[in-house]
Amino acid sequence: MYACKKLDKKRLKKKGGEKMALLEKKILEKVNSLFLVNLAYAFDTTTHLCLVMSLMNGGDLKYHIYHIGDIGIEMERVIHYTAQIITGILHLHAMDIVYRDMKPENVLLDSQGQCRLSDLGLAVELPNGKTITQKESLLKWDFSEDDEKAGTKGYMAPEILKQEPYRTSVDWWALGCSIYEMVAGRLPFRDHKEKVTKEEIVRRTLEDECKFEHKKFDAPSKDIINLFLKKNVEDRLGCKDDPRKHEFFKSISIPRLEAGLIAPPWVPKPNVVYAKDTGDIRDFSEVKGVEFDANDEKFFKEFSTGAVPIPWQQEMIDSGLFDELNDPNRKKGGVDDDDEQKSKSCTLL
C-alpha cells in the first residue's frame, strides 16, 4: 500500500513552482531512511504530477496535538518522536540537505505508530559548506500563511528572519519550537490561534526568551528546548554535537532506535481516520487561463521518469525477485509479458 501525492500541473505553473517540485522529487530519490517518507515512483497524468510514496495513515503530529484528547502529547511519546525526528534530520544533514520546514504538521505516523518526516518541498542541497540567505531562497509559492520566507511563521530561526546566511542551524531551531508545541499545545513565541502580526512574531523571536508556563514541562524538556532555541547559532544544540546524547533521551537506546527495533509508545487504531473531516479540507477551484508549451512538456518528461529508489531495490533483493530474474540457470523461453516487464525493471538495478 502506498500514498500518492498529486501536484496540479496548471496550479504549479501559475505559482512558478516547477523547479521546487523537481527538486523535491530528486531529493526524495536520494534519501533512504526509516525516518523519512520515501519515494517509490514518479509519473504524470494529463492534469497532475504524481509522487508514489510511503503510506502514513496514522495522521500528522499537529492533528495529534490538537484533536485527540487533551491538547498536547504525553511526554513518553514526545521523547520517542523527537528521537526519530532527529535521526531523520541527521540523515538529511549528512547528505548536505537542509529540511527548512520542520513542524509537527510535516511529521507523519505510520500504521505502527512510528513517525517520519514528510514534505521535502522546501528542502535545499548545500554541498561543500555552502550557505544560503533568505533572499536567495525566496519562492513566491512556498510561503506558509503569507510569509515571504522559506518556512512557517512561528518556526523560523532568527538567522532566517534577519536574512543572514545559514545552513542546518534552522532545522534545530524549528525542532525546538516543535518539541515545545508537542508538550504545551502552543508555540514558544505564539499561542495557538493567537491573532498576532508578523512583525510582532519577528520581535518576539529575536528578543524574547522562551517561557515554560505549562506544568507538563520537566527539567530535561526545558533544557533541551532552551538549547535548541539559542539565538546564537554557535551555541545551538545540534550545530556541533548529536542532540540524541542529551539527558532528554536517556530512556532510549539510539542504536536500537536507528535499527527500527524500539516499539512505539502509541499505536494508531486501524479503524480510525486520524485526519480532519473531508468537509473541512479546502476544495481548490479549477485553475483557468494556463496553457502548456514545449518547455512545460520538457519539464513534465523530466519529472515523470519513474524512479529506482533504494527501498524499492532492497525490496526486490529481499523478496528474491532479483535473484530469480538474474539466475543464469533460469528456464529460457516461455516468458510471459509480465515476467518480461519485471525483468526489464530489474535490469535498472
Q: Of the listed 8, 44, 60, 101, which one is catalytic?
A: 101
C-alpha distance from residue 51 to each of 61, 142, 297 (Å): 22, 18, 17
The Cα 58–Cα 231 span in angstroms is 34
Give the CB-side neighbour count of residue 28, counting CA atoms within 13 A: 29
Query: Bridge partners of 49?
Result: 7, 44
CA distance 96 to 80: 25
Take residue 281 and report the three cell numbers written for it. Answer: 479540507
Spacing of C-alpha 12 from chain mean position: 20
| Catalytic site includes residue 101 | yes
How does strand 124-125 pair with strand 48-54? unpaired
What whole-number distance in Å separates Cα of residue 111 and Cα of residue 161?
37
- The residues that are catalytic are 101
